[in-house]
Amino acid sequence: MNNSIISRTFVVLACLVLLAGLLASTPAFSANETQPKVLIVYDSGDSWSAIDKNGIAQALDEIGMGHDLLNTSTTALTLTTLQNYPTVVLCEFTLSPSDITNVTSYVDGSGGVVVTGKAGIGLEAVLGISTPSPKSHTSAAEIRFENQHAVSHGAYWNGPIMHSPPMPTGEIPTINQFLYPATAWPAYQASATGATTIAHWYADANQWGTGQQEPAIAVNTFGSGRTVYTGALPGAYADPGWNWPYTWRVFVINAVEWASGSEYLAEVGLWPNANRSSLVWSGDTETTDMETAVPTLLGLFAQLGLQDFGTFYVVGKAGGDAGTEGAIEHPDIVKSIAMAGSEVGGHGDIHTGFGTGNLQQQVQRFRTMIKAINPLIAPFGESVKGFRAPHVEITRTTWAAAAQVGLLYDSSDIDVWSETTLPNFNGSLWEAPPDMPMDYHLFEVFGIPDADALAIYRDKTDYIYARRGMINWLHHPWVIDGHMSVLSGMLQHAINKGDIWMARQDAVVNWWIKRTRLSVQGVARSGDSVDVTVKNNGGQSIANATVWLKLRNGIDPASINATVGGSVAVTRTRSHNGMTFLAAIIPNISDGGSATVQYR
């Protein structure tokens, strides 16, 4: 697929509220504290400082974190001003000698700072780094975290795929890239002289052929305060014409939260019933081998106790690529999929990509596909809701055409293009990116042995699981049928984790649509209690949403009781990136209503 025909799409995910400044030891929660603000300092005379400021402000707005702006072109940065805020962000500007003195005193006295780009010049002692210097940035670059730290929350991975490429570069399991693609964006490097380097620059052009380059992000303690330095401007994506990916926004959130000394974070969980991740198995079903492969797969799902699981993308009829067949040729197989409780999606009218054709032509192709499949599955209360293009070859016209015929989602924008392993709205309909290495490439193209393939699948699963993402397989029944021990082993690996939601693709997308309507409406603290209120902003009632509360180190989750509406809440203890969360399940939130989780 031509990467240029797909623009990178990003998802706005976390409805986060920082419970900053909760410094409790005993009792678990401190009394009568207010939500602190962040001071964002910039220079309006520096265009990049202003852009960085805009992006960082957007990230804080997303989590409901109040902030004030200080423009050094018009207002002096005094120590008295700094001391009014628990955290200050300095955005890519040249500090004056008095600025340096005031910031140094502020951090020494327990202030927290996040510093970007050239704003680190003069603050070397505070940041624990060498003098930041411009980095050669003649091509697309990226940031990669190598150390587990609160600032790299959800971004750090040290599994086998980080150490040696399991397969050719174009098909490797992806890492969580922090892309920095525009060569015009300022970039700096600085070595640690006392700080801890948690991320380096990498060349985006060849992830595995190029080792780590210059230090990019460092964390430090100075006096009684905390500091974060980043040589990449995290707000650069606010540059007009760019969409700001969630990875960078969550980095801002984590950096500010850690620098402030906060130990608590409340968020709406990504998945229902306190699950950490979700898993979808999907198969592109396009050859006569479906007559034997599909029953084998459905039998395996039943054997493993997986109900309402599996999505089969079925071609409408024979045509296109040689040897392909579809619903018209194998109606009983299509019916058996629906009868078993699995989803039947569309894989095109014939097995030919959707990389060409105008809107009218592609709409007609979709209508032909739906007409071939829907009559077979309608008796089971089913209809085609999702689509995956043959060869995952699509354009934006494909998305518009799919939306026009009433499809809910597409599953063609692989995570190496979309840079996310979560559902996201692509402007026309919902996208469910496949993110597991394709079985055809593993077995048919590269001839990887089953044991090695299973190791690759397990590692990529663990990688996505570590980020609480959606594990989305892209298989072909005619390929995987010869490697069922690999699939069985991988599904059992996921089942054994105990907190992965195993579901159909349409169920996952429908959940995600509901979840986007949830937000943390407020946090109330009184005495030794914290109340987190979640708002359902409309559309329909939502069952089994979850509030995740990150606990201060050393607090035993068993010592905290959680209730919803006066009833004891079902809770689960979850670990994420070295931090402990207490997840409380909300049985139901009515349309337009709200629910409060009370932690005591």
Each residue's pLDDT tens digit in the chain (600 positions)?
A: 333 333 333 233 333 333 333 323 333 333 333 345 799 999 999 999 999 999 999 888 766 677 999 999 999 999 999 999 999 999 999 999 999 999 999 999 999 999 999 999 999 999 999 999 999 877 778 787 877 788 886 666 656 655 554 444 444 444 455 778 788 999 999 999 999 999 888 775 554 445 568 899 999 999 999 999 999 999 998 888 776 666 677 789 889 988 988 655 678 898 999 999 999 999 999 999 999 999 999 999 999 999 999 999 999 999 999 999 999 999 999 999 999 999 999 999 999 999 999 999 999 999 999 999 999 999 999 999 999 999 999 999 999 999 999 999 999 987 755 556 788 888 899 999 888 888 888 888 888 899 988 888 888 888 888 878 899 999 999 999 999 999 999 999 999 999 999 999 999 999 999 998 888 777 777 767 888 899 998 889 999 999 988 777 778 888 899 999 889 999 999 987 667 889 999 999 999 999 999 988
State how far the Cα of 516 lies from the Cα of 520, in Å rounded to an integer: 11
Task: Give the chain's domains with CATH numbers.
Answer: 1-35+264-269+508-600 (2.60.40), 37-259 (3.40.50.880), 277-498 (3.20.20.370)
Any bridge partners for residue 584, and if so which? 547, 571
In angstroms, the CA 304 to CA 488 distance is 8
The 3 state secondary structure assigned to 345-400 is EECCCCECCCCCCCHHHHHHHHHHHHHHHHHHHHHHCCCCCEECCHHHCCCHHHHH
Are the C-beta atoms of residues 118 and 93 closer than 8 Å to each other? yes
* Per-residue confidence (pLDDT) for residue 250, from 0 to 100: 77
pLDDT for position 24: 32
- Using DSSP, state whether 326 is helix, strand or coil: coil
Q: What is the pLDDT of residue 16?
A: 38
Read out DSSP for 56-91?
A: HHHHHHHTT--EEEEETTTS---HHHHTT-SEEEEE
> Three-class SS of residue 561?
coil
CA distances from 20 to 130, 419, 554, 576 (A): 30, 30, 17, 19
Looking at the chain, the whole-number percentage of residues with pLDDT higher than 90 is 59
**295 membership: H or E segment, kind and range:** helix 290-303
Say what the pLDDT of residue 100 is. 98
In the prediction, which pLDDT does 421 show? 78
User: What is the model's pTM?
Assistant: 0.79
The confidence score (pLDDT) of residue 262 equals 65
Q: Give me the pLDDT at residue 292, please.
A: 96
What's 442's DSSP letter? I
What does DSSP say about strands 265-268 and 430-431: parallel, antiparallel, or unpaired? Answer: unpaired
- Radius of gyration over alpha carbons of the chain, in Å? 25
Q: Which two tokens stand for residue 118?
A: 């050239």
Give the DSSP H or E segment for 505. helix 505-515
Q: Which among 326, 362, 387 is positioned nearest to 509, based on CA atoms?
A: 387
